[in-house]
Amino acid sequence: NSIGQLGDGTKTDRHAPTQIGNESNWQSISAGSSHSLAIKADGTLWVWGYNYYFQLGDGTRTTRIAPMQIGSETNWQSISAGSSHSLAIKTDSTLWDWGYKHGESGYISSPRLIGSDNN
């Protein structure tokens, strides 16, 4: 947890399960090597952890030690955290990515529709 990847608001290592916040409306979660993504029951997207490669999708390289909502959309359905990138699917079945683009130059700093003209 040296870079906040547990999302408990600290950088303290934990050796036993620890509840994150007081909410009980989380629907799904995915953990990468140093960041995590989650979707709440209301379809909102939340992120935390290391962010050097823009893998949190908040448009910055700021590490987050507690869950932070990305945008205000409520149609996120599933997520997957990689080592330095993230992927998600919305309820309309569109696929989104952000973070470091292995094999390509540059970074994607916020969720981008895959297959759109802006690739």
Summarize pLDDT for 33-81 with one digit per residue, the tens: 999 999 999 999 999 999 999 999 999 999 999 999 999 999 999 999 9
For residue 34, which amino acid is it? S
Q: Which of 7-11, 63-67, 74-78, 104-108 has the lowest mean pLDDT?
A: 104-108
CA-to-CA distance for 113 and 119, rounded, in angstroms? Answer: 8
For residue 19, which amino acid is it? Q
CA-to-CA distance for 42 and 59, rounded, in angstroms? Answer: 23
pLDDT cut 70: percent of the chain above it: 94
